């Protein structure tokens, strides 16, 4: 649910639908993982709180005081309950009272925390946010700078990689076995934004390697396979919508960073396949998943996805290298 708040905030600066609504836990603070007709999933996840920080920071950049209040609350909760300074990363999940941390450590929630910290840095100018974003990028995407682009997704509580995690459940909807190609593309986009801000060359090296790896291992038209094994063999060959959307952002940023025509050509190829197979030209939005022949299927999820990835894909061409989406929209650059 916090992800939906981000889209609302970027759309028109209308504030966040979950700042004081049913998604907020008025007793213990923070936000529930999900609100459903029959109740709530009351786990408190880093993933969701990162998106609230991202939403609040985006709305704050549009000039709305509600955004700053939301971002400050989320940032303070992350500081108090999730961020582990010695690790330079965050815990993944806690119970409703912010106790009983899951021993699992993951790439996904911390990747979106990186995204959120970059937005908070743009909104409030606090170097702590930028420093944390860099530390997260170094820990989780840094191996790509030396050629190791099949990023580890799952770790134990000491941040030791667990490469066999969920081998028996390879298509787990939240923690699948192997490495997710779409995450390589998301990290490439974040690394390039950090490169635009800091000029640190390892970030450009990592981003280039991640995108090259995504096309080498994962590109099987009409899209990217979902996960691969550690030798690059596809594990779950479903083609989801969101890696396509994230690829457009990473490729646009590589064009800006390098000026190389090959990235522009790939950008056009991804959009061609997206238009042909993922965009729902009849009802709007994008299909969540297509099969190997490009036909929409409902295997992993029912119904249409939210607009978080696809809305951003339409905005990436407005970005400069050193900006996030909210900053680009606010500045009009």
For 266, half-sphere exposure in the C-beta direction (CA atoms, 13 angstrom radius) is: 26
Asked about 309 being catalytic, the answer comes back as: yes
Shortest CA distance to 136 belongs to which of 187, 192, 173?
187
DSSP string spanning 9-77? Answer: HHHH----TTSSSTTB-TTT-SB-SEEETTEEE--EEHHHHHHHHHHHHHHHHTT-HHHHHHHHHHHHH
Asked about 154 being catalytic, the answer comes back as: no
Torsion of CA 259, 264, 267, 273, to 10 degrees: -170
Residues, the chain: 333
Contact 162, 176 (CB under 8 A): no
- What's the rounded Cα separation, in Å, for the pair 151 and 314? 27
Please tell me which residue in 183, 252, 277, 287 is annotated as part of the active site. Answer: 183
Contact 142, 206 (CB under 8 A): yes
- What's the rounded Cα separation, in Å, for the pair 207 and 41? 35
Question: Sign of dihedral through CA atoms 303, 308, 309, 311?
Answer: positive
- What's the rounded Cα separation, in Å, for the pair 273 and 300? 21
Please tell me which residue in 49, 112, 154, 309 is annotated as part of the active site. Answer: 309
Contact 227, 180 (CB under 8 A): yes
Any idea which residues carry the catalytic annotation?
A: 183, 309
């Amino acid at each position: 649910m916090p992800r939906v708040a981000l889209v609302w905030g970027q759309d028109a600066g209308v504030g966040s639908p979950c700042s004081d609504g049913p998604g907020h836990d008025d007793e213990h603070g923070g936000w529930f993982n999900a609100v459903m007709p029959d109740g709530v999933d009351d786990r408190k996840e880093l993933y969701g709180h990162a998106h609230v920080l991202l939403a609040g920071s985006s709305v704050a950049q549009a000039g709305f005081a509600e955004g700053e209040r939301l971002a400050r609350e989320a940032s303070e909760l992350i500081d108090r309950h999730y961020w582990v300074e010695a690790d330079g990363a965050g815990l993944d999940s806690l119970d409703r009272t912010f106790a009983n941390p899951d021993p699992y450590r993951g790439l996904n929630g911390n990747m979106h925390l990186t995204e959120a910290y970059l937005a908070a840095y743009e909104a409030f100018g606090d170097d702590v946010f930028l420093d944390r974003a860099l530390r997260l990028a170094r820990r989780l995407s840094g191996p790509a700078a030396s050629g190791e682009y099949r990023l580890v997704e799952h770790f134990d509580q000491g941040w030791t990689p667990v490469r066999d995690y969920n081998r028996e459940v390879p298509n787990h909807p939240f923690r699948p076995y192997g490495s997710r190609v779409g995450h390589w593309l998301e990290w490439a986009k974040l690394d390039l934004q950090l490169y635009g801000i800091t000029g640190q060359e390892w970030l450009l090296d990592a981003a280039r390697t991640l995108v090259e790896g995504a096309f080498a291992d994962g590109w099987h038209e009409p899209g990217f396979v979902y996960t691969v094994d550690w030798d690059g063999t596809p594990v779950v060959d479903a083609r989801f919508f969101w890696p396509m959307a994230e690829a457009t952002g990473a490729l646009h940023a590589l064009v800006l960073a390098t000026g190389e025509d090959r990235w522009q050509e790939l950008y056009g190829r991804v959009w061609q396949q997206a238009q042909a197979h993922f965009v729902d030209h009849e009802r709007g939005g994008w299909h969540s998943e297509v099969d190997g022949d490009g036909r929409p299927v409902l295997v992993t999820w029912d119904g249409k996805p939210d607009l978080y990835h696809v809305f951003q894909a339409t905005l990436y061409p407005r970005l400069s290298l050193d900006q996030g989406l909210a900053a680009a929209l606010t500045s009009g650059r």
